[in-house]
Amino acid sequence: MTVMLASASRSRAAVLASAGIAFEAMPAEVDEEAVRNALVGAGPETIALALAERKALAVSTKYPKAHVIGGDQILWFSNAVINKSADLDSARSLLRKLRGTTHELIGGLVLAEAGTVNWRHASRARIQMRNFSDDFLDEYLAEEGPAALASVGVYRLEGRGAQLIESFEGSYFSVLGLDLPPLLSELRRRGAIAS
């Protein structure tokens, strides 16, 4: 049975590929804003899992013989969900708010087959941002450009964004948006990868 990733995330794909997992990427067409709006007042784990589930189900109904991985990540700051920045100005504004503070990245992972969810997993990572200067911020955004907008926090721990972070608690893979060890365990249990 094929393993499929229901995501356009380059970071999630890179995590799977670096672990030696053979998979196909098939971005899911999901109205994420509608899902979030329907879950106003819900906790971040509920939202992350709902988004991951929608993605996994959207692809698994089209490819019923595949093990489909759906994943999503929520940035939780000041008791609110923070959405991806639309442009570099909003990215700058977000990073100024996060500077010198702590936020959480909540990840949702779902496995689905033939339109049925058969595994769910939520993870949390706590990120302490350093108190970087405006000059560093301007340089960082100029270097990263629009690519920075692909991440909800406007940073990639596996890239230059690591310089924005003072410390973090939790799984490195959770920060990357794909909590790999529990996912691999479940894929092994299901016979999707070698044990």
Domain boundaries, the chain: 2-189
User: Which one, of 193, 172, 191, lies nearest residue 22 by Cα?
Assistant: 193
Cα–Cα distance between 19 and 13 in angstroms, integer? 10
Q: What is the pLDDT of residue 10?
A: 87
Q: What is the pLDDT of residues 101-135, one digit of tens each?
A: 999 999 999 999 999 999 999 999 999 999 999 99
Q: What is the pLDDT of residues 42-78, one digit of tens each?
A: 999 999 999 999 999 999 999 999 999 999 999 999 9
pLDDT confidence tier of residue 1, bands split at 50, 70 and 90:
confident
Does the domain at 2-189 match CATH 3.90.950.10? Answer given as yes
pLDDT digits (tens, 9 = 90+) for 90-101: 999 999 999 999
Rounded Cα distance between 61 and 193, Å, is: 21
The count of C-alpha atoms lying within 13 angstroms of the C-alpha of 170, restricted to the half-sphere facing its C-beta, is: 21
- How far apart CA 91 and CA 34 sit, in angstroms, is 22
Q: Is the full-model pTM beyond 0.75?
A: yes
Give the whole-angstrom CA distance, residue 176 versus residue 195: 24
Phi, psi of 145, deg, nearest 5: 60, -155
Predicted confidence band of residue 40 (pLDDT cuts 50, 70, 90):
confident
Q: Decide which of 84 and 131 is more confident.
A: 131
Q: How confident is the model at residue 13 (pLDDT cuts 50, 70, 90)?
A: very high
Question: What Å distances lie between residue 129 and 94, 97, 101, 104, CA to CA?
Answer: 12, 10, 6, 11
Q: Which tokens is 129 given? A: 């941002």
DSSP 3-state assignment of 99?
coil
Share of the chain above pLDDT 90, in %: 86
Neighbouring CB atoms inside 10 A of 173's CB total 20
Q: Which member of 31, 72, 87, 135 is catalytic?
A: 72
- Is 72 known to be catalytic? yes
Instruction: Identify whether the C-beta of residue 7 lies closer than 8 Å to the C-beta of residue 172.
Output: no
